[in-house]
Amino acid sequence: MSVSFHESNGVFRLDTPNATYMISLVDEERFLAHLYFGRRIPDDLPREMLRIPEEDYPSRKGRERLAFLDGLPTEYPGHGLGDMKQSCLEVETPEGYRCCGLTYRDHRIFGGKPKLPGLPATYGGPEDCDTLEIIAEDKVLGLTVRLFYTAFRKIDAICRSVRVENTTGRPLRLRTALSACLDMDDQGQYDLLTLHGNWSAERMINRRPVTMGKQGVSSRRGISSHQEQPFLGLLERTATQTRGQVYGMNLVYSGNFLGQAELTQQGQLRLVLGIHPEDFCWHLEAGEAFQTPEAVLTYSCTGISGMTHAFHDLYRNHLIRGPYKNKPRPSLVNNWEATYFRFDTEKILAIGREAAAAGIEMLVLDDGWFGKRDDDCSGLGDWVVNEGKLPGGLKHLVEELNRMGLRFGLWVEPEMVSPDSDLYRAHPDYALQIPGRVPTESRQQLVLDISRKEVRDHVYAMIHKVLSSANVEYVKWDMNRALTDVYSPALGPDRQGELYHRYVLGVYELQERLLTDFPNLLLENCCSGGGRFDPGMLYYSPQIWTSDNTEAIDRLRIQEGTSLIYPLSSMGAHVAACPSHTNNRTTPFATRGRVALPGCFGYELDMTKLTPEEKALIPGQLEEYRKYGPVFHNGDYYRLASFGENHACDVIMAVSKDKRVAVINYVEVENRARCRALRVELAGLEETALYRSSLTGEVRSGAGWMYAGMLLPRLEWDYSSALIVLEAVAQ
């Protein structure tokens, strides 16, 4: 097994292909201490690595207990007893105090991985992974805490979660319950890697040295957000794409989160990740339990690419589910940027005829098909087809499109309501709002209280009826604002701190119901673009709309940050109209296709308004997607050049798992005078195999392409692009 316990020295050990993780029992009290996480080693490390002997405190129960607890690299730190760094567990008793600390009681080791009740999580059977469950306790409180660790046998990933059980016999308040902690020595050697952004500029890469104090990422918007990503990367200062040690932490959750690195005066570095403690308070009656979301930890000794490959392989094989897990995703055209709200049946059919003639597989009808919805000021919540726009309802439209050979998809936004809607007029209490205050609108809409079962049931029944009325094979689930006015009349005063988390649980339940009732559906999540692009959503939808910014050059940086963690098969990426609706930039149709090619490919434009030259390019783009999309989606991804760093060009590469085919996607953003051709060292090839280049016909060994490199062609214009394919040849 990949998990073991050594009774002789009290050490738990978890091994992945290239990494080892160790936990040590310390002292007669059996504290749980973090011993090691790094390159795989055969040794059992001595306890002196915990630095306890350095402190030489002879009476840890007496006068120097504070110093001992503050210096101990604690595996899952409690609160208020001496560890002055960020706590992971804070419990409030009926008396009002918040002190808690955990010690070891028991453990079990088993093959496979348990599900997390009500939460998305990675999965695997006994052939894939092994799980360590440590049962810890606070003996004074009588509290039980179960720490779960799953080590994957073929992927350098360890997944952690925590279950807090109120075995005290009286009610408690859970004030903080984070998912994972990692205590390490810093010694001035690490950079912190995070992803920041905004609407239309999501997941911008930010790398900076770890400094004294607290730094990191967080969201209190009720969603993982455009602004931050529930991810922390810890890199050796000299780490590159292919060299150096890199750690990654990602939270499988879609709501408020805290990811934090804290460097102390003693050079101790603590990373924590989990539900944001602010605005969180969970009431636990005696006998009740609380389950934290899952945190994914990765380690790479081969640079950033190693971390990326671990996340990609884990999410593709052990998080994404359903019939589209391993299937090619259909090419599609979405009518949003083509028509916005101004469409009728004939307009959609006209777009459909052009799409079918070009070889596109699916048409997606976006916002405006329901209720009184001619702009974004009304109608949300009234999920009834507007037959003034679509006579005969969806059934007639879909049947006509199916006759053309097109599949059909539909946009919905189930979590929202417009004040100008029949739903809100009948049930104003269904919306989140605080009594006596004017509700805070965004896009002239409010958020439904999805934490309430009756609200979920009402909305879902309407959407279920619509989806059952026609052959709908794809749903784009949107969510277009942050949460405010967070109050629910369904919860008592002592439970309002549960609302943010209950909201997220409600969203998960709704999406699980949708997939259960429509098991062949392709679900794509969206949140005003990429505002909820996180592992929690990937559990329900194999692809997510990457950003509302469809402009190709901006998308280079957005897709670079996204692909740092998430597989290319999860990125919705479309060819949009020019000038861009986001920034008025004009780029060649061919380059727009190349930028979108690695993701889930489609078009976001009016097919009836394309020039003959543009229409002529579509069959070739679709052929590239059919031929090379599987390599990007299922192969190993490498970043060869970053436009975000060099401001001139962008080069990515994907290599099939059998290493027979490699595809290089090259965009020359700025054609600079008197510049030599760019040389890039390829990656991921079989050293002794021979590969032929589609660019020059040259045959070279994998080692030759990787170590001598390839000269990329100088392209003629700004925003030009090229696709280069290497295929293995018989020797």
* Nearest partner of 664 among 628, 696, 627, 615, judged by Cα: 628
Contact 283, 494 (CB under 8 A): yes
Query: What's the Cα-to-Cα distance from 29 to each of 26, 89, 430, rounded to whole Å?
Result: 7, 19, 50
Q: Which residues sit opposite 604 in a β-bridge?
A: 576
Which of 548, 554, 636, 650 is labelled catalytic? 548
Separation of CA 34 from chain center: 27
Helix/strand/coil (H, E, C) string of 398-464? HHHHHHCCCEEEEEECCCEECCCCHHHHHCHHHECCCCCCCCCCECCEEEECCCCHHHHHHHHHHHH
Determine how many CB atoms are found less than 10 A away from the CB of residue 182. Answer: 22
Contacts with 63 (C-beta within 8 Å, 6 or more apart), sequence order: none
Helix axes 345-358, 393-403, angle to 10 degrees: 20
Alpha-carbon dihedral of residues 664, 665, 669, 674, nearest 10 degrees?
Answer: 20
Please answer whether residues 247 and 132 qualify as being in contact, where contact means their C-beta atoms are separated by less than 8 angstroms.
Answer: no
Pick the catalytic residue: 478, 534, 636, 650?
478
SS3 609: helix
Active-site residue, 56 included: no
CA-wise closest residue to 543 among 719, 684, 291, 362: 362
Instruction: For strands 661-668 and 720-729, give the pairing.
Output: antiparallel
Output the six-digit token pair for 311: 């996340």
Beta carbons within 8 Å of 273's beta carbon, 6+ residues apart: 178, 179, 180, 230, 232, 249, 250, 251, 257, 258, 259, 260, 295
Is residue 460 within 8 Å of 480, Cβ to Cβ? no
Residue 366 annotated in active site: no
Please count the CA atoms within 13 angstroms of the CA of 376 that sit on its side-chain side: 15
Residue bearing tokens 């599900």: 115
Task: Label the pairing between strands 201-209 and 268-275.
Answer: unpaired
3-state SS class at 663: strand
Alpha carbon distance 547, 545 (integer Å): 6
Q: Rounded CA gap, 514 and 558, in Å?
A: 29
* CA gap 661, 655 in Å, rounded: 6
Beta partners for 198?
201
Distance CA 147, CA 95 (A): 27
Active-site residues, by number, are 478, 548
